[in-house]
A and B are shown apart, each in its own frame.
Chain A
Amino acid sequence: MSFEYAPAPESTSIVKLKPTYGLFINGVFVDGEKNFSTINPATEAHLAHIAEASEADVDRAVRAARVAFGSWSKMRGSDRAKYLYRIARIIQERSRELAVLESMNNGKPIRESRDVDLPLVAAHFFHYAGWADKLDYAGLGENPQPLGVAGQIIPWNFPLLMLAWKIAPALAAGNTVVLKPAETTPLTALLFAEICQQADLPAGVVNIVTGAGETGRALVNHPDINKVAFTGSTEVGRYIAQAVAGTNKKVTLELGGKAANIVFDDAAIDQAIEGIVNGIFFNQGHVCCAGSRLLVQESIAETVLGLLYERMKNLRVGDPMDKNTDVGAINSAAQLAKIRELSDAGEAEGADRWSAPCTLPEKGFWFPPTVFTNVSQVHRIAREEVFGPVLSVLTFRTPDEAVEKANNSPYGLSAGIWTEKGSRILEMSSRLRAGVIWANTFNKFDATSPFGGYKESGYGREGGRQGLEPYLKAASK
């Protein structure tokens, strides 16, 4: 039996784009000297012109944030809370508009931006709003103090969610921020700037500077920021750690990953298959914690692969605005080239490649859901982060071997465990060197749940009580 899906496109009419967006500095939009074009990666259609912030623009933004820090940090926590609750409520009110815009600019399926990204964004602001007047309970003793101005740089895979992860705790703790969205996905951050205006957030508390690497570099190296928060590649994270060495800037880094998703022979197989698919194909695999290495117990490897291929044949790849789409567009031509390069290397190094049969749209950036088998631990596709819908499959015989292989990575962001045996889940959890462990589930996120990596996946946590710590210091005695 086969099911045919009629097109179910989400209308984009809810989004009213301006032709050009300036920089959001001190509560108002100001023009930049130069502009760049931002596009829809599913169609390559131009969406808007975006200002590129120069070093001087970044300096203006930092100065605005510094001035605003004076009153924002002294405001009663309960009053800061009210602003953050307002923002949370406006995000809920405008959630459909934000979800549509996110899918247009990022390429992710509307089902995900609508049902995952946006609810989490609102929840994050709601959660940290509640912390603003409870900082004494954050774990740093009584009356902890904000750091000052935070320079924040976020990636393109969850544009608005990463903004929420950065801005909500920073503001709750009494800091002000200068945030740089990713070059390819600036639009929801700019809509967020409008939300700050609707909420009457005091000018300068949130500043948004758009641009590429140079803008980010200017922000990280600005002498008057007290804190750098970065989510992105390990390569850039390493640069940032070196750039701030010897300064007083506090740093948190949330970097790459190569998560092992470990399936034992006693796992509930159907759930595990769904978990494998969700682990690697959620958000086109543009997920730092993606379960990109499947470690399956040898005795069930054949069964698991058979079921996985069957399941993957039913994945619907295509128009992100279609409500039935499972896998959307790759975010950029550059990312597509990187995925292709690593996949080709996989084949060249001797692994076997299988891609789900699907018709890809002619325009835009696309890559079919792909599995590599006969992968060895030394292959590049088993070691390097692909950041795309590409799964490498390895096998193991014993739990010890699974631990060994899972930990054999410079990364340590997340891991998955599939077994019906509780004690094994907990023993595996304690041995895996990763910041988030999902057992019989994968890619779960919550505002109350700390997230972050071990090893070269970075340091610092975002979410929950621990997510406040990067933005606070203990009161001086």
Chain B
Amino acid sequence: MSEHIEVRRTAKLFIGGAFPRSESGRTYEVKSPEGKFIANVAQGSRKDARDAVTAARAIQPKWAGATAYNRGQILYRIAEMMEGRRAQFIDEVSPWAKSAKKAEAEVDEAIDRWIWFAGWSDKIAMVVGSSNPVAGPFFNFSVPEPTGVVAAIAPSRPSLLGLVDTIAPIIVSGNTVVVIASEDAPMAAVTLGEVLATSDLPGGVINILTGSYAEVAPWLASHMDVNAIDLSGVENEKVAADLEKAAAENLKRSLRPGIELDGLTRIKNWLELKTVWHPRGF
């Protein structure tokens, strides 16, 4: 029997449910910390980012309009699909993990994180919303709603868990997201796109760009059709401040880097609150 020569995968972007190469035609070389070649990965451009925003905006009303139950099941399905690729994910985070055990733990936690956030979909309103006893003959209640399209820069480490922790709390309530993955460790992000494509997630709800956030993020921060930006993964303080300033132009909700958040607070970052009044009386 002859030896099987590995068929290598082309690492592409994930935009609108499809896997395009960068429109710029560029790729960059991803190497392990020891300098071993891993892959040529698509280097996303300004145009790719804008295409991703268009896709995210187009699907956002439909995603927000899906029942919470439906969204929860889709997030759960993502965990199911990730479980099936567990070995591949472990392989892909391994070069940057401190040990094989840590790589495994990161992947398991990333899978479990989808389940934790899946369970929130139909509970956010119960915990965040309220019925308000106003002083008058009115029925008054407040309900959370998604803010819209969110741009995000995922932390460089842990490359998979950080990415999941960034995007799951954004989309669970009905937002859509354009996320820039870890620049030097993007392999698990590329695979996550392939998982998402087989999880009944409508195309465009999550869009994953690989490449340099320093190059691409400013275009997202200044994009007038983006409602919020998660700067968690921006390590350089000056860059983070510039992005926040650019984001202020259309009053994007901005999350600064370095803020430790529990799961529910992460979800609440990307919510609006709507209060409804209605009179009572025969």
Contact = CB atoms under 8 A, between A and B. Distances in A.
B279 A133 contact: no
B167 interface: no
Contacts of B8: none
A103 B123 CA distance: 32
B119 A465 contact: no
B63 interface: no
Contacts of B127: 137, 465
Interface string B12-43: 00000000000000000000000000000000
Nearest to A137: B127
Contacts of A127: 69, 122
Contacts of B118: 130
B239 to A, nearest CB: 35
A465 B126 contact: yes
A130 B72 contact: yes
B127 to A, nearest CB: 5
Contact of B119 (A123, A133, A399): A133
A211 B98 CA distance: 58
Contacts of A133: 116, 119
B278 interface: yes
Interface string B106-125: 00000010011011111100
Contact of A123 (B69, B76, B115): B69
Nearest to B279: A423
B194 to A, nearest CB: 22
A465 B278 contact: no
A85 interface: yes
B281 A137 contact: no
Interface in B55-69: 68-69
Contacts of B281: 423-424, 426-427
B123 A422 contact: no
A79 B116 CA distance: 11
A175 to B, nearest CB: 18
Q: Tell me the dominant secondary structure on chain A's binding face.
A: helix
A281 interface: no
A134 interface: yes
A131 B280 contact: no
Contact of B120 (A82, A126, A134, A426): A134
B73 A126 contact: yes
B273 interface: no
Contacts of B68: 448
Given A78-B115, A85-B115, A134-B123, A430 B282 contact: no
A426 B280 contact: yes
Interface string A452-477: 00000000000011000000000000
B264 interface: yes
Interface in A420-435: 422-424, 426-430
A280 interface: no
Given A448-B68, A448-B126, A426 B278 contact: yes
A130 B122 contact: yes
B82 to A, nearest CB: 14
A317 interface: no
29 contacts: A81-B115, A81-B119, A126-B69, A129-B119, A130-B72, A130-B118, A130-B121, A130-B122, A131-B119, A132-B119, A133-B116, A134-B116, A134-B119, A134-B120, A137-B264, A400-B282, A423-B278, A423-B279, A423-B280, A423-B282, A426-B279, A426-B280, A426-B281, A427-B280, A427-B282, A428-B282, A430-B280, A448-B68, A448-B69
Interface of B: 68-69, 72-73, 76, 112, 115-116, 118-123, 126-127, 137, 139, 264, 278-282
Given A85-B76, A426-B278, A465-B123, 16 more contacts: A85-B115, A123-B69, A126-B72, A126-B73, A127-B122, A130-B118, A130-B120, A130-B123, A133-B119, A137-B123, A422-B278, A423-B279, A427-B137, A430-B280, A447-B69, A465-B126
